[in-house]
Amino acid sequence: MIAGVPPSAATMFEALDQLFVSLKHWLVGQLPPAWQSWVSLAISAAAILGVFMTLFALTVLIERKGLGRIQNRYGPNRVGPWGLLQPIADLIKMLTKEDLVPSGADRVVHFVAPVVMVVPVLMAYAVIPIGRNMAAVDFNAGLLFFFAVGACIELAVFMAGWSSRNKYSLLGGMRAIAQMISYELPLILSTLPVVMLAGSLSLVDITDAQAGHSGGWLARWHVFTPWGLAGLLLFTVAATAESNRAPFDLPEGESEIIAGHLVEYSGIKYALFFIGEYLGMFAVSALGITLFLGGWRAPVIWLEWVPSYMWFFLKLGGFVALFIWLRGTLPRLRADHLMNLAWKFLLPLVLLNAVSAALWHYTAPWTFVGAGLARWLLCGSLVGVPYVLLGRRLFAGQHIGPRTYRMAA
């Protein structure tokens, strides 16, 4: 199965790769048949919860350290060696803080909002293949399910903004709704080419569609096609906005509307929102990995011995690093610029990208010399040229009309 290694080693790598899967099967096998399916699901859920919560704690620490380095300072370095125990200190702080609810708030909605934030995000992980044979549920409409539960985040943010009975909260909630609905569209449409070419909505099938190697060594990931590359970039921009990360962190916009929908939250409820945002970021990165970066597959044939879940988390780490880097580098956008970017820039490009994918599909039978290059140029320019033209228009100086102001009289 694995190229370039002797059969005995291959068996060992195979065992390592399937370690967690076999462990679960063995555990489940010990139980009476009536329980098996339920316990199997429970184990998967517990594993997802444990792994991604740990990842969350680590990411917060790495983010604070990384931002510190970008900004020429140390970051947390007081709790434990190199500040490694900072997440635990943060957890204790969050758990012991006073839980404040404004007297005018809608108490029920205010209470439910953080739960609505976290639960659907966790559900989204069910359909993502973390490694070979490691999807909790192989759902044949997995992608649809992912976006459906992902849309609950918008609801949670608006619930928080509305129920707090605070104008800044409401403004934050409104901004969040406008932003997330606008970016939902390019986000979903940027995944359209993948579905078109893989012919399935199941994330497991989509990963399998990226199996095999071109030229005998390079993986057939979607990102190695013109539409896949453009799709990944568009997807990443939309995903950053969808997960409210800098430079799209307008709903919180600390310096403008204080903390938006989070103004009236404290203690563990605030922590739940915080967790929800990071889990959302991981989930959407995981989706990007599955759709464009071959999921858990190795990039080149002679690295296939590395266990599949390691590849998945390596790629996820790459995404997280990218998000941190972006946050350290870019200033926040303004609400109307954000909308322009979604509707006037991303949306036309994702639609053109779908056309480009179709073209790629129908030019596949070309066999003349230099056909590969011709296909790349054709499909690439279909997205690349509009990118340049639209970008130029977006950055062109807007016309400022004459301003009038009447002094108090």
In the complex, the residues that contact other proteins under the rule CB under 8 A are 67, 70-73, 167-168, 171, 175, 246-247, 249-250, 253-258, 328-337, 395, 397-398, 400, 403, 405, 407-409
Closer residue to other proteins, CB minimum distance, 30 or 255: 255
Q: Which two tokens stand for residue 314?
A: 């390596």
Contact 332, 241 (CB under 8 A): no
Closer residue to other proteins, CB minimum distance, 179 or 210: 179
Task: Cis check for the bond before 33: say yes or no (omega within 30 of 0).
Answer: no
Q: Which two tokens stand for residue 166?
A: 């605070």
Closer residue to other proteins, CB minimum distance, 174 or 197: 174
Three-class SS state of 218? strand
Phi, psi of 334 (to 5 degrees): -100, 155
Q: Which two tokens stand for residue 244?
A: 């409210």
Q: Which amino acid is at 204?
A: V
Report the C-alpha gap between 181 and 187 in whole angstroms: 10
- For the chain, the straight-line distance linking the first and the last C-alpha, in angstroms and rounded, comes to 85
Closer residue to other proteins, CB minimum distance, 279 or 341: 341
Report the C-alpha gap between 394 and 86 in whole angstroms: 42
Question: Least separation, in Å, of the C-beta of 333 and other proteins?
Answer: 8
Closer residue to other proteins, CB minimum distance, 151 or 321: 321
Closer residue to other proteins, CB minimum distance, 25 or 334: 334
| Segment 71-78 long-range contacts (CB within 8 Å, at least 24 positions apart) | 71/328
Question: Least separation, in Å, of the C-beta of 287 and other proteins?
Answer: 26
Question: Least separation, in Å, of the C-beta of 149 and other proteins?
Answer: 29
What's the full length of the chain, in residues?
409
CA-nearest of 20, 15, 88, 17 to 53 is 88
Question: Least separation, in Å, of the C-beta of 89 and other proteins?
Answer: 21
Question: Least separation, in Å, of the C-beta of 329 and other proteins?
Answer: 7
- Write the CA distances from 49 to 27, 53, 388, integer angstroms: 19, 6, 42
Closer residue to other proteins, CB minimum distance, 373 or 408: 408
Report the C-alpha gap between 59 and 281 in whole angstroms: 11
Instruction: Note the Cα 198 to chain centre separation in Å.
Output: 20
Question: Least separation, in Å, of the C-beta of 117 and other proteins?
Answer: 22
| Residues in CB range of 31: below 8 A, 6 or more apart | 39
Report the C-alpha gap between 172 and 251 in whole angstroms: 4
Q: Which two tokens stand for residue 78?
A: 């007081």
Closer residue to other proteins, CB minimum distance, 99 or 306: 99
Report the C-alpha gap between 22 and 40 in whole angstroms: 12
Question: Least separation, in Å, of the C-beta of 256 and other proteins?
Answer: 5
Question: Least separation, in Å, of the C-beta of 170 and other proteins?
Answer: 9
Closer residue to other proteins, CB minimum distance, 88 or 330: 330
Decide: residue 359, CB within 10 A, 0-12 exposed, 13-18 middle, 19+ buried.
middle
Closer residue to other proteins, CB minimum distance, 248 or 292: 248
Question: Least separation, in Å, of the C-beta of 171 and other proteins?
Answer: 7
Question: Least separation, in Å, of the C-beta of 87 and other proteins?
Answer: 21
